[in-house]
Chains A and B, each alone.
Chain A
Amino acid sequence: MSITNLTLRDVVKTFELPTVEQSATVLTAIKTMLENDCYSLIVPRRNSADAYGIVTKKDIMAKVIAEGRDPGKVKVKEVMSKPLLILTNLSLDLRWVAKAMADSGISTIAVFDKGDFYGYVTEACVLEGIYHALRRAKIENGVEFVSC
């Protein structure tokens, strides 16, 4: 089936993620997430020797709310994941993209092509890619696409 031939290039998306400063409070991060309806935020680096970070709803849930800490006082830098997970091989099989997500527990991976920023790949991107491949396979086989 054609889903076995999918590569990272087929599912990566070139969109911008909202950002939050590492000195901002978690409450600011939560509000940014809700406003943008996007639950992963990029934490920009301070200088060229610094790394990008990422803060997700899971970090906030596990490290702040579940521990009963005040989101208005905890800073983003205490809960973020850093450095950001990066993939550079655009021809990588989708299976290994999924494996990178599963191993790290992070759902958003930044993709770089020859040193330049290319886009992001998320869980939803991977599954959408497979969905479209499944759909194409059904059409090619001449079977009417029946949803469940």
Chain B
Amino acid sequence: MVRLRDIISISKPVRISSDATVDEALVTMIENKTDFLLVNRTGIDDAYGMITKRDLIDGVVSKGLDMTSTPVVECSRKPVVAVNNLDLDIRWVAKKMSNEGVSKLMVFDREDFLGYVSDVDILRAVAGKSSAGRAEA
């Protein structure tokens, strides 16, 4: 069984302020070669958000909104979808992603941001596990 702790990316995601506009988010994504941004919270009573390329397509471009005036919060996923059990089987991580319709999950250890896990990480773990099993057999 592969657990969440085996596949989590510890690297910090690129962040963007919650009052930024969508065109700034797009520029930040492309210049940092990333598919998603973590939207900062304004205080401890606020939630973190997440914005992906998919959100930009579905929430802004397809509706014909003006990118320079639409704030990031309007099309971001907020509160962010988070998991905190590091021993969780990746099957349930995958189920969580498909239930919520997201491709990235943030991992929190209590209040501290620990890392994130993407659907590609899960695919890689599944492919790796199967080829390792075949080599042993």
A interface with B by C-beta (< 8 Å): 1, 3, 27, 30-31, 33-34, 39, 57-58, 60-62, 65-68, 71-72, 94-96, 98-99, 101-103, 107, 123-124, 126-128, 130-131, 134, 147-148
Contact = CB atoms under 8 A, between A and B. Distances in A.
B62 A101 contact: yes
Interface of B: 16, 20, 23-24, 26-31, 53-54, 56-58, 61-64, 66-68, 90-91, 94-95, 97-99, 103, 119-120, 122-124, 126-127, 130
Contact of A65 (B30, B57, B94): B94
Contact of B30 (A27, A33, A107, A127): A127
A31 B62 contact: no
A132 to B, nearest CB: 9
A62 B123 CA distance: 12
A62 B91 CA distance: 10
A39 B35 CA distance: 13
Given A61-B98, A102-B57, A27 B127 contact: yes
A107 B54 CA distance: 8
Contacts of A1: 66, 68
A61 B94 contact: yes
A128 to B, nearest CB: 7
A72 to B, nearest CB: 6
Contacts of B90: 65
A102 B66 CA distance: 17
A65 B126 contact: yes
A107 to B, nearest CB: 7
7 contacts: A1-B66, A27-B127, A34-B123, A57-B119, A65-B90, A98-B62, A131-B27
A98 B65 CA distance: 12
Contacts of A148: 16, 20, 24, 27-28
A98 B55 CA distance: 11
Given A58-B119, A102-B58, A130 B67 contact: yes
Contacts of B30: 127-128, 131
With most chain A CB atoms within 10 A of its CB, the pick from B29, B103, B130 is B130
A66 B26 contact: no
Contacts of A107: 54, 57
Nearest to A67: B95
Nearest to B16: A148
